[in-house]
Amino acid sequence: MRVTMNRRAELERRTKETTITVGIDLDGSGRADVNTGIPFFDHMLSLFSVHGFFDLAVHAQGDIEVDSHHTVEDVGLVLGDAVEKALGDRKGIRRYGYAMTPMDEALATVVIDLSRRPYLVFQVPAGAAVERSFNRSLAKEFFKSLANRAGMNLHITVPYGENEHHILEAAFKSFGRALSQAVARDERITGVRSSKGSL
C-alpha cells in the first residue's frame, strides 16, 4: 500500500506592485478562501477550487486602482509555484487530465499534461463583456503564468459562447476538473508516467 504524502504548499510573493499568499491542498474537499480585491476573479478561483476538490486559500493586495493585471498575473505565478511544490517529484500521478464543462450557451474543454514542458493554448471567443475588472485577456494572462510556473501543458478551448461570464466560468470549472484528474494518484504508476523515466 502506498503511503499518502502531504501534498500541500503555502507560498508568498511580495513586490512593489502586489503581495500574494497562496495555499493549496491537492487532496482537499473543495474549500475556498479567496480574496484578491477583484470579485469576479475571486468567483472564478472559487469555482476552480470547488470543482477540482482543492482546498485553496488566496489572499492578494495589489495596485488594482491602476488595473487588475499585476494582481491577476502574480496570483497565477504563485498558484503555479504552489502546484509545482505540492506535486513534489510527480511520482504516481496520472499526469494527464481532461474535462468538458457546459455553462448555459458556452462549452469549455481543458486538457492538461503535467509534463514539466509548459505551454498554453487559449482558444476562447470574445463574448459580450460583463465584468470590467476581470475579462478574457486577463484570464489568458493568469493561465499563462500558472502554466509556466507549474510546468503544465495547458490547452483551453471554448468553441462557442456568447456571454463572457459563462465562457470564463465554463473554462475555470473545466480547469479544476482536469487538474484534479491529472494530479490524482494511480496505484499502477510506481514512478513517473513517462517512457523516459523522468519528467
For the stretch 80-111, pLDDT in tens is 999 999 999 999 999 999 999 999 999 999 99
The pLDDT tens digits for 119-140 are: 999 999 987 776 678 999 999 9
Whether the pLDDT of residue 144 is over 80: the answer is: yes
The average pLDDT across 155-162 equals 97
For residues 83 and 103, give the distance between their C-alpha atoms in angstroms, rounded to a whole number. Answer: 26
Give the predicted TM-score (pTM) of the model: 0.93
Q: Write out the E strands in 63-136.
A: 96-103, 106-113, 119-123
Phi-psi region of 76 (alpha: psi -120 to 50; beta: other; left: phi over 0): alpha
Candidates 110, 109, 103, 81; CA nearest to 23 is: 81
Q: Coil, strand, or helix at residue 5?
A: coil
Residue 139's contacts (CB-CB under 8 Å, 6 or more residues apart) are 44, 122, 124, 168, 171
60/124 Cα distance (integer angstroms)? 26
CA distance 164 to 144: 19
